[in-house]
C-alpha cells in the first residue's frame, strides 16, 4: 500500500531529521523502520550522520515522494570551510511547530535565522545533548529529548500543522543561500 507523505508539509531548508520525524508521525512507524530508509548497511541504533555522500539519496527517494534536490538541501554539505555541530541544535520556536533546519547545525550560526533566539543543544530537563545522527534513539523521540522524553518546545508536528510564516520561510532561504552559495 505504500507510505503517506506530502511534500507540501515541508518548509525551506528542513533537515533530514525533521523530514523523517514527519514521515514517521504520518505513517505511525517505529524508529528502526525509518532508520532503515538510509540503507541496508546502516545500523539503525548506531545511525548515520545525515551528510551528502553518506546517505543513499536514491534509496531515500524511493520511499519519500520528495524531489532529490529537496533531500540534498536537507543534508549537511561536506566542506572544509563550514563546520557543523555533532550534537542536535534546535530553536524551541521552530521545534514547537515541527521544524528543524539544516542551518541550525552550522556552528557559525548561533541564533535561529527566523526567530533570532539562541540555538539550544541540551535538554532543559536533564541536560542530555543528542548526537546529530539519524538513529533509532533520535527518531523515536520526535521533537523531544532522546534521553528523558521532555519536549524541546510544544507538541511538534501533525499533518494539520500550518506551514511556516512567509517571513520565516524567506529568512531561512536567504540564510541558506548566503551560507552555501555566498
* pLDDT value of position 68: 93
Which has more confidence, 40 or 33? 33
CB 114 within 8 A of CB 137: no
* CA-closest candidate to residue 93, choices 143, 159, 129, 132: 143
CB 8 within 8 A of CB 28: no
Which residue carries 531515500 as its cell?
60
CB 48 within 8 A of CB 36: no
pLDDT tens, residue by residue, 59-118: 899 888 899 999 999 999 887 677 999 999 999 999 999 999 999 999 999 999 999 999
State the DSSP string of 120-163.
Answer: B-S-TTT----BSSB-HHHHTSTTB-TTT--BSSS----TTPPP
Amino acid at each position: 500500500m505504500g507510505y503517506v507523505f506530502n511534500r507540501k508539509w515541508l518548509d525551506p531548508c528542513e533537515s533530514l531529521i525533521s523530514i523523517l520525524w514527519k514521515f514517521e508521525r504520518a505513517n505511525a512507524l517505529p524508529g528502526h523502520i525509518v532508520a532503515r530508509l538510509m540503507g541496508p548497511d546502516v545500523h539503525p541504533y548506531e545511525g548515520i550522520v545525515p551528510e551528502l555522500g553518506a546517505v543513499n539519496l536514491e534509496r531515500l527517494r524511493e520511499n519519500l515522494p520528495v524531489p532529490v534536490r529537496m533531500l540534498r538541501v536537507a543534508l549537511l554539505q561536506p566542506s572544509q570551510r563550514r563546520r557543523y555541530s555533532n550534537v542536535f541544535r534546535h530553536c524551541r520556536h521552530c521545534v514547537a511547530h515541527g521544524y528543524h533546519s539544516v542551518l541550525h547545525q552550522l556552528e557559525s550560526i548561533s541564533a535561529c535565522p527566523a526567530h533570532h533566539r539562541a540555538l539550544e543543544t541540551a535538554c532543559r530537563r536533564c541536560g542530555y545533548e543528542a548526537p546529530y545522527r539519524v538513529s533509532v534513539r533520535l527518531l523515536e523521540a520526535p521533537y523531544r529529548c532522546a534521553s528523558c522524553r521532555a519536549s524541546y518546545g510544544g507538541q511538534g508536528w501533525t499533518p494539520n500543522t500550518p506551514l511556516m510564516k512567509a517571513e520565516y520561510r524567506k529568512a531561512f532561504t536567504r540564510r541558506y543561500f548566503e551560507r552555501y552559495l555566498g
